[in-house]
Amino acid sequence: MKRLLRDRSARFGLIIIVVLVLSAIFAGVLAPFPQDVDTYHLPRRLLGPNAVNFFGTDRMGSDIFSRLLFGARLTILIAVVATSAAVLIGVPIGLIAGYYNNRFSDLLMRVSDVFLAVPQIVLAIAIAQTLGPAIHNVILALSITYWPFWARLVYAETRSVRHEVFIEAAVALGASPLRVMVLHVLPSIASSVIVRTTIGLGGTILVAAALGFLGLGPPPPTPEWGRMIAESRAFLPQAWWYAAAPGLAILLVVMGFNLLGDGLRDALDPRLSRGKDGP
Amino acid sequence: MIARRCLWMPPTLFGLLLIVFTVSHVIPSDPARVMAGENASADQVAAIRHQYGLDQPLPRQFLRYVEDVTEGDMGTSLFTQRPVAEDLLARLPATMELALYAMTFAVAAGVPLGVVAALRRNSWLDHVVRVITVAGLAMAAFWLAILLQLLFSMWLGLTPVQGRIDGWGPDPITGFFTIDAVLHGDWETLGQALRHLVLPAMTLALPAVATIVRFTRAGMINVLSSNFVFYQTAMGIPRRRIVWKYLLRAALIGTLTQIGLIFGNLIAGAVVVETVFDWPGLGSFAVNSILHSDYNAIMSFTVFTGVVFILTNLAVDVAQTLLDPRGR
């Protein structure tokens, strides 16, 4: 933790994430117009940024700043649930495939390769289109498309520690495969999973926003950041703030997760040098 | 190695078809209803169910599906009533041209930036480059596209707002407007095509630039401290030549392994970038299909992109094996 906080960019990332979480929790208190999520005031529509509406108002006359704060809740919900699901599917599969060396583990990895053979966003589009525009469908689409990343990572890491002395010793002592995997393999590879998950949260937010932008996210009036940008396009070039504000929010949050992930990598695993990219 | 790679193609494709089939035929409780769209009458749904053989057992449906796709038949679009495979093939060159220009730009900008950042580690230049890479990987591509469009097209009026060309493109030879224009010697069309290309290509390229910079910088820092640099310096070889010839070659191996991945990301990124710039490629095809709930078209787009993706990865692998003797 100390090592993490010493790094300036990791500290910056952590601050962004903390601000994001706080603003999501206290959106109701912080938002100047909390009711603007689903009500509209057409007389006040498309006002530029001013002292009352920090980021201006949208096509319905709603306060963009307030909608962004409530959108943060949605962003966190989608990112955390989808990423957790992907981790919960991917990590066990990677562990099993990496621990055993048989046809079944080959099959598991082949399956994950097939998922990786299509760009994530394309597969997510197909799934989201089938299921219909709703929050839980976005989450489902993202978890189905993202688990192979963790499966691949955990598989490679498990393979590399599989024949280390401490694992062989546990096996020799008669520990069951499950016990070895959970108590011995998993802790030794946890740091790379944590790093990948942190960066993965940012990636999930980007894809979720893209789905929202394409109209596959939660339906209006949900204050989804991607959808807000899509809505703004009809009012360009005049209402530039309408497009700029949500995108800035996405940029900051994803940057926060990426910087934090990089910092965690340096802090947790000094062997890995800065500047290398994840899968 | 190459042979093994090729052998894996059919199973991967088969798996891809299985996934798309599951998504399109097994997950929805009534695929005919989804295909027909929300406003279809019961009769229309029944007609579609019969027409597409959706009333048959799933395994048989899947076999028929695999058969059709391998024969190049992806069904007809429910919206335009045209064969989807034809539409996709017609739009492929536009996306490929965009992706290739983005890739060229990414390499041309990314490699020198990465080298310079590594040579002047922790200088202001390195910090600027780091900010660009961090932002480049965190920015939503569609947002950047809109901002660039706002600035360069709408406010400054330097580039066209949308599209691939004004009016009709040059007579197709390769389908790449810029190459076709050169082949025809039509310089005006070339200029116009390039003006249309510049913003979408740059938008698409930014995340790729960021990745290439990171890998080049890391690779460069890695080899900078190796013995052969010391040796070559002692031999009196000019610094410039050491850096740009010997070091770069060693440093780029790590970057090269990423090219396949980057190219795949470019094709994926094209989906949203094409939407903003109304670029008539695969991505805008997909988005139009989403808007019209053209189910068959979206599933075919997924398969088609998967195939393009698998083939490009194969091509990159082959190229890499040929370039790097160690991989043979």
Angle between helices A8-25 and A64-99 (to 10 degrees): 120
Contact A279/A150 with Cβ under 8 angstroms? no
Question: What average pLDDT does the segment A187-204 reach?
Answer: 89
Q: Among B20-34, B55-69, B265-279, which is the least confidently predicted range?
A: B20-34
Pick among B131, B142, B206, B282 to test the A interface (most A CBs inside 10 A): B142
Q: Tell me, what DSSP letter sits at residue B83?
A: B
Indicate whether A165 belongs to any domain.
yes
Nearest CA among A264, A257, A265 for reference residue A21 = A257
Q: Using pLDDT thresholds of 50, 70 and 90, give the confidence band for residue B324.
A: low
Contact B138 A213 (CB under 8 A): no
Q: Does A138 touch chain B (CB under 8 A)?
A: no
Q: Say yes or no to pLDDT of A279 above 50.
A: no
CA distance B320 to B257: 8
Residues B302-312 have a mean pLDDT of 84
Number of compact structural domains in chain A: 1
Report the residue from A123, A209, A250 with minimal CB separation from B302: A123
Least Cα separation, residue A60 to chain B (angstroms): 21
Confidence of residue A171 (pLDDT cuts 50, 70, 90): confident
Residue A214 with chain B: CB contacts under 8 Å: 271-272, 275, 287, 290
CB contact under 8 A, B134 and A123: no
Mean pLDDT of the residues in chain B: 82
Does the CA dihedral B95-B101-B104-B108 come out positive or negative?
Answer: negative
Would the pLDDT of A55 be above 70? yes
The 3-class secondary structure across chain A, one letter per residue, is CHHHHHCHHHHHHHHHHHHHHHHHHCHHHHCCCHHHHCCCCHHHCCCCCCCCCCCCECCCCCEHHHHHHHHHHHHHHHHHHHHHHHHHHHHHHHHHHHHCCCHHHHHHHHHHHHHHCCCHHHHHHHHHHHHCCCHHHHHHHHHHHHHHHHHHHHHHHHHHHCCCHHHHHHHHCCCCHHHHHHHHHHHHHHHHHHHHHHHHHHHHHHHHHHHHHCCCCCCCCCCCHHHHHHHHHHHCCCCHHHHHHHHHHHHHHHHHHHHHHHHHHHHHCCCCCCCCCCC
* % pLDDT > 70, chain B: 96
Q: Which residue has the higher pLDDT, A90 or A222?
A: A90
Q: What's the pLDDT at B1?
A: 64
Q: Are A209 and A243 in contact (CB under 8 A)?
A: no
Q: Among A69-73, B108-112, B247-251, B285-289, where is mean pLDDT lowest? A: B247-251
CB contact residues (below 8 A), chain A span 170-229, against chain B = 202, 206, 209-210, 213-216, 226, 229
- Of all residues in chain A, the one with the smallest CA distance to B310 is A117
Please state which of the ranges A116-125, B105-114, B233-242 shows the lowest mean pLDDT: B233-242
Considering only A192-196, B100-104, B200-204, B288-292, which range has the smallest mean pLDDT? B288-292
pLDDT of residue B323: 65
Distance CA B10, CA A141 (A): 25
- Mean pLDDT of the B156-167 span: 78
The alpha-carbon gap from A52 to the nearest alpha carbon of chain B, in Å, equals 25
User: Is A104 part of a structural domain of the chain?
Assistant: yes
Whether residue A135 is contained in a domain is answered as yes
| DSSP structural state of residue A57 | B
Tokens 């396009």 sit on residue = A233
Residues B212-236 as b or e (16 or more Cβ within 10 Å = b) = bbbbbbbbbbbbbeeeebeebeeee
Amino acid, res. A183: L
Residues of chain B above pLDDT 90, percent: 7
Taking an 8 Å cut-off on Cβ atoms, the answer to whether B268 and A244 are in contact is no
Quick check: A236 and B146 CB within 8 A?
yes
Q: pLDDT band for position B29 (50/70/90)?
A: low
The amino acid at A274: R
What is the end-to-end Cα distance of chain A in Å, rounded? 24
CB A231 within 8 A of CB A249: no
Query: What amino acid is encoded at A54 in this protein?
Result: F
- A167-190 mean pLDDT: 86
Span B256-276, pLDDT tens digits: 777 777 887 888 888 889 988
Tokens 């191996």 identify what position? B253
Record: contact B272-A210, CB cut-off 8 A: yes
Q: Which residue has the higher pLDDT, B222 or A89?
A: A89
Give the pLDDT score at A168: 85
pLDDT at B328 over 50: no
C-alpha to C-alpha distance for B184 and B171, rounded to whole angstroms = 8
Q: What is the dihedral of CA B257, B136, A11, A80, to 10 degrees?
A: -80
Domain that residue A119 falls in: 81-270
Residue B197, pLDDT score: 87
Residue in B142, B298, B313 closest to A229 by CB: B142
Give me B31's structure tokens.
């695929």
**In this structure, is residue A60 part of a structural domain?**
no
Mean pLDDT of B73-79: 77
Residue B184: what pLDDT?
80
CB-nearest partner of A210 from B142, B264, B302: B142
* ipTM value for the complex: 0.84
Dist. CA B5–CA A4, nearest whole Å: 41
The more confidently predicted of residues B165 and B304 is B304
Structure tokens at A221: 């009036």
| Confidence grade of residue A102 (pLDDT, cut at 50, 70, 90) | confident
Amino acid at B57: P
The mean per-residue pLDDT over the stretch A41-46 comes to 74
Contacts A9 to B, Cβ<8 Å: 134
**Chain-chain contact of A250 with B140 (C-beta, under 8 angstroms):** yes
Query: Which long-range CB contacts under 8 A does B237-243 form with residues at least 24 apart?
Result: B243/B115, B243/B119
Q: Report which DSSP code applies to B226.
A: S
Quick check: is A98 in a domain?
Answer: yes
Residue with tokens 């798309």: B20
Partners of B76 in the beta sheet? Answer: B83
pLDDT band at A204 (very low <50, low <70, confident <90, very high): very high
Q: How far apart are CA B6 and CA A269, in angstroms?
A: 37
* Residue contact B15–A236, C-beta within 8 A: no
Specify if A160 maps to a domain.
Answer: yes
pLDDT of residue A273: 46
Residue of B nearest to A254 (CA): B138
Distance, CA of A78 to CA of B213 (rounded, Å): 30
Average model confidence (pLDDT) across chain A: 84
More confident residue, A37 or A162: A162
Structure confidence at residue B178 (pLDDT): 80
Average pLDDT, integer, range A147-155: 91
* pLDDT score, position B185: 77
pTM here is: 0.86
What does the buried/exposed string (b/e) look like for A230-243 if buried means 16 or more CB atoms within 10 Å of the residue's CB? bbbbebbeebbbbb
Per-residue pLDDT tens digits for B84-101: 888 888 888 889 889 999
Outline where DSSP puts E strands in A47-107.
Answer: none
Any idea what the CATH number is for the domain that residue A232 is in? 1.10.3720.10
Helix (H, G, I), strand (E, B) or coil at A82: helix
Burial of A73 (0-12, 13-18, 19+ CB in 10 A): middle
Chain A hits for B28, CB-CB cut-off 8 Å, are 130
| B243, B181 Cβ separation under 8 angstroms | no
Q: What burial letters (b/e) apply to A149-172, b meaning 16+ CB within 10 Å?
A: bbbbbbbebbeeebeeeebeebee
Asked whether the predicted pLDDT for residue A58 surpasses 50, the reply is yes
Asked if A276 and A98 count as a contact pair (C-beta separation under 8 A), the reply is no
Overall average pLDDT of the A241-246 stretch: 86
- Of the pLDDT bands very low, low, confident and very high (cuts 50, 70, 90), residue A25 is confident
Q: Do A276 and B134 touch (CB under 8 A)?
A: no
Determine, yes or no, domain membership for A225.
yes
A129 domain residue, yes or no: yes
Cβ distance B129 to B215 under 8 Å?
A: no
